[in-house]
A and B are shown apart, each in its own frame.
Chain A
Amino acid sequence: MRRIGVMLVWLAALVAPACASKPPTPARVRLELLQSAALMSTLTRPRVDILLDVTRSMGAQSNAGPEHQAAARRAAQRLVGALPAGTQVRLHGLGMQEEACGTASRVAEAEVARGDGVLLEQIEAMRSRGEASLAAALLGMLETREVLDEARRVVAFTDLGSECGGDLCAVAPRFAARGVRLDLVVIGDAEVPACLLERLDLPDTAPPAGIAPIRSVRFHVETELAPGIPLVSCGEAGAGPLTLPPGRGVLTVELDPPLRLERNFSPGIDLVLQLVDFPAADPPVRRWRWQAMPEAAGAGETDGG
């Protein structure tokens, strides 16, 4: 039965047209590209949520003299003044509602522009009306989902007054789960809960959102099917091996600029071209090496680049 199968293969090779005829023992080659992959693509415009605590406790004087509220305003204005143009800013006030324990109020939303003092004036005009819970306000701010939460920062200027309770330690994991950064700017001497001082990382190790798609790199090998009859075989980096007629040939990796390598493709040998390509490195780096399996004389490991 096996003998009949082999005979049929040879018979097919004899009757088939020349371009489709295959040598009985082909060479095989594949490309392993170690490339500069998954670069960050352009991020969406950054967004900053500023929470200014104006609850009554912020009226306390600091040891240096100025009231905590004045210092918090100054800190918030300094941040707004230094943000890059185009940053989306939402300004929230804590304690601006006439309630015993209210929520944060949205005061303004603006895009930072050079010389634009609107937000600075808004910060100056924020006044205390009542009390509110910082923890509840921070959690409430997470209810707004952005296109890319990781391009979002929440900054709270506060004395950590806890007149309305709330657990700040419960806030941190929620920010981590949503991938939103929280900056707490503490005004005054209040003790910061230890849970906030411990390093908290994101819960997973996935690549960041906004990754560029993987580059698909093709290559082709020019060989001769028979003297004077060229054959071009095409393959893709990372895919299975390409079968070729044995003999001398030129392998071209379709990079920019292309990499052309002349090589003898021996029958029964699996060749692997391992290529490192970092065109954006300074200076650009391109290195390669051939590996043959099984090892054959003259087809072993050779480096280039």
Chain B
Amino acid sequence: MNARGLSGLLIVSLLLARVAGASSCLAWPGEPTPLPSRDDPDALRGLWAELRVQELVAAARASESAAPLSAQRLWRHVQCLDPSNRTAAAGLERTRVVAVARPPIVALRKPALEPAEAVAWTDLGAPLRVRVALPTASRKAPRREPPAWDARAADAAIGEAREQLQAARFEEALAAAEQAREKLAGAGAAERRRRDVELDVLTATAQLALGRGDAAQRSLGRALAADPELRLEPSRTPPKVLRALEQARATRRAGEH
């Protein structure tokens, strides 16, 4: 295409764009036709456009939270009346049909003052301060007498955790395992060891099902610390768990060397 053809195409494109822009700037009911703009050569129509912009900006701001897409209509109309209005451009960004926020996650390891009350919609992307549980060893809990050791109650609690796991209720299985562990308090080392290992494996299995690979590795690491020769029955154990156990064993060996 030669230069003349190219410039002709450019002019046609500009004209089409102008027509498209104009068609989206129709007067609303009760407004003067054709729709004036702030730089209208007619001063009175220009004044109307200026005042109308102020009115629409106030209405758009008022409805932005509760009805963002109604506000989008208002912001677009403001742009028709005042094409260079920056407030409208920013408003259109805020009132898009789909908005995506990705709040950064901040771990809180000890209680901290929460920031001032959140603003419902503008804070969707603000940092999320999430409490994480402290390791049990570092908690300074008041000294309590351990409950009397009850092997039957402990085994029943472990059975409950196992049932939850078999029913694929993984969160419940984790909670039941935690409760069962509490029932091991007061048990002798020998009585406790086997049950602790079983609970660690149960916990790891649930964690793997929930996609918490790192947590599962920690659970299996504890199990291996209690029983370095731990072997799981391949016919009754998901391959994912068997692989995770071998990985934990490898990590443990690497740590020993």
Q: Which residues from chain A sit less than 8 Å from chain B, CB to CB? A: 32, 34-40, 43, 46, 56-67, 70-71, 74-75, 78-79, 81-84, 87, 98, 127-130, 148-153, 155, 171-172, 175-176, 179-187, 192, 196-197, 199-202, 205-211, 214-215, 274, 276, 278, 280-281, 285, 287, 289
Q: A98-B168, A151-B70, A214-B30 are contacts. A71–B130 as well, Cβ < 8 Å?
A: yes
30 A-B pairs within 8 Å (CB atoms) are namely: A35-B30, A36-B55, A39-B55, A46-B66, A56-B209, A57-B211, A65-B105, A66-B105, A70-B130, A75-B103, A79-B123, A84-B65, A127-B171, A128-B210, A129-B169, A151-B67, A171-B98, A181-B99, A183-B99, A185-B124, A186-B102, A192-B100, A196-B100, A200-B97, A201-B76, A207-B28, A207-B73, A208-B73, A211-B28, A281-B54
Across-interface contacts of A280 in B (CB, < 8 A): 55
Of A184, A274, A285, which is within 8 A of B100 by CB?
A184
| Contact code string B115-132 (vs A, CB < 8 Å = 1, else 0) | 001111101110011111
Please state if A60 and B212 are interface contacts (CB–CB under 8 Å): yes
Of B69, B70, B118, B121, which is within 8 A of A81 by CB?
B118
Q: How far is the CA of A66 from the CA of B129 in the complex (A)?
A: 9
Segment 16-33 of B: residues with Cβ below 8 Å from A: 24-26, 28-32
Interface size on B, residues (CB 8 A): 72
- Tell me if B225 counts as interface (CB < 8 A to partner A): no
Q: A65-B107, A187-B105, A274-B44 are contacts. A205–B24 as well, Cβ < 8 Å?
A: yes
Q: Output the nearest chain A residue to B76 by Cβ-Cβ distance.
A: A205
Please state if A82 and B119 are interface contacts (CB–CB under 8 Å): yes
Across-interface contacts of A183 in B (CB, < 8 A): 98-101, 121, 124
| Contact code string B39-80 (vs A, CB < 8 Å = 1, else 0) | 000001101100110110001001101111111111011000
Q: How far is the CA of A32 from the CA of B54 in the complex (A)?
A: 21
Of B28, B68, B117, which is within 8 A of A38 by CB?
B28
Q: Output the nearest chain B residue to A172 by Cβ-Cβ distance.
A: B98
Across-interface contacts of B155 in A (CB, < 8 A): none
- Interface SS of chain B: helix, strand, loop or mixed? mixed
Q: Output the nearest chain B residue to A181 by Cβ-Cβ distance.
A: B68
Nearest 3 interchain pairs by C-beta: A37-B30, A59-B210, A46-B66
- Tell me if B178 counts as interface (CB < 8 A to partner A): no
Please state if A128 and B66 are interface contacts (CB–CB under 8 Å): no
Across-interface contacts of B24 in A (CB, < 8 A): 205
Across-interface contacts of A278 in B (CB, < 8 A): 51, 55
Of A59, A152, A155, which is within 8 A of B124 by CB?
A155
Q: How far is the CA of A215 from the CA of B30 in the complex (A)?
A: 8
Of B69, B120, B207, which is within 8 A of A181 by CB?
B69
Across-interface contacts of B170 in A (CB, < 8 A): 56, 59, 128
Across-interface contacts of B45 in A (CB, < 8 A): 34
Please state if B29 and A37 are interface contacts (CB–CB under 8 Å): yes
Please state if B29 and A211 are interface contacts (CB–CB under 8 Å): yes
Q: Output the nearest chain B residue to A200 by Cβ-Cβ distance.
A: B97
